[in-house]
Amino acid sequence: MSTNLKVSAALVAAFAAVVAAVLILGQSDSGSSADSGARVVREDSHRLGEPGAGDVTLVEFLDFECEACASVYPFVEQLREDYAGQVTFVARYMPMPGHPNAENAAVAVEAAAQQGEFEAMYQRMYETQEQWSHREESQAAVFRGFAADLGLDLASYDEDVADPATLERVLADRDDGLALGVEGTPTFFLNGEKLEVTTTDEFIERIEAALDE
């Protein structure tokens, strides 16, 4: 299949930087652990937009405080636009150590998801990352402000943020990621296999090949 995808030089540079960071981290080979019961996608995993009509699924394990994730976010949004209706895009939480508000951000997004606003809060986190990331103090009040801007029921939002089950939902994603060999973010899986590419062209070629199968 062909696509009209156009990747800007800035996105290519950002993707190259992400690939370099991932290679430095030295991620292990992919593959789920039979004992862990880890899954690349679960029934409650968050889909971005409408599912694709076919069997191609792209999963990203992400951290909202991760600069590399924010850098590749526009590329993912472009992929979503160009492969709408063809590819199912899934986002899974992977808050990393060393990011003081990564868990808080994921909990805020999950609380928004419980009011049907996962995607809106997901986008808000990346679009505002420079404003709140890498601060030692909790940014929970900032995230609550995002919830207010999105018109969420704040009483319900507060209850969900405080509910241990919301954090457990976030950490369930993280635990799957760890069992699957995810050691850095962003990490992508295409149809269940870790996607290890070095350029945006290779990334797109892999998607195209999956669509042609």
Task: Give the per-residue pLDDT at 2.
Answer: 43
Residue 120: pLDDT band (50, 70, 90) is: very high
When pLDDT is averaged across residues 105-109 and rounded to a whole number, the result is 98
Using a 10 angstrom Cβ sphere, with 0-12 exposed, 13-18 middle and 19 or more buried, the burial of residue 4 is: exposed
What percentage of the chain reaches a pLDDT higher than 90? 81
Task: Give the per-residue pLDDT at 34.
Answer: 37
When pLDDT is averaged across residues 129-151 and rounded to a whole number, the result is 97
Q: How confident is the model over 146-156, as pLDDT tens digits?
A: 999 999 999 99
Of residues 23 and 78, the one with the higher pLDDT is 78
pLDDT tops 50 at residue 128:
yes
Task: Give the per-residue pLDDT at 18.
Answer: 60
Task: Give the per-residue pLDDT at 37.
Answer: 75
Q: CA 84 to CA 20: how far, in whole Å?
A: 28
Q: Which residues pair with 85 in a beta bridge?
A: none
Residue 213: pLDDT band (50, 70, 90) is: confident
pLDDT tops 60 at residue 31:
no
When pLDDT is averaged across residues 17-22 and rounded to a whole number, the result is 55
Chain-centroid distance, C-alpha 40: 12
Of residues 115 and 11, the one with the higher pLDDT is 115
Edge-to-edge strands, sheet with 46-48: 46-48, 87-93, 56-62, 187-190, 193-194
When pLDDT is averaged across residues 18-36 and rounded to a whole number, the result is 44
Closest CA to 91 of 127, 124, 60, 119: 60
Angle between helices 154-162 and 102-113 (to 10 degrees): 130
Q: How confident is the model over 49-88, as pLDDT tens digits?
A: 999 998 999 999 999 999 999 999 999 999 999 999 999 9
Task: Give the per-residue pLDDT at 32.
Answer: 38
**What's the whole-number average pLDDT of the chain?**
88
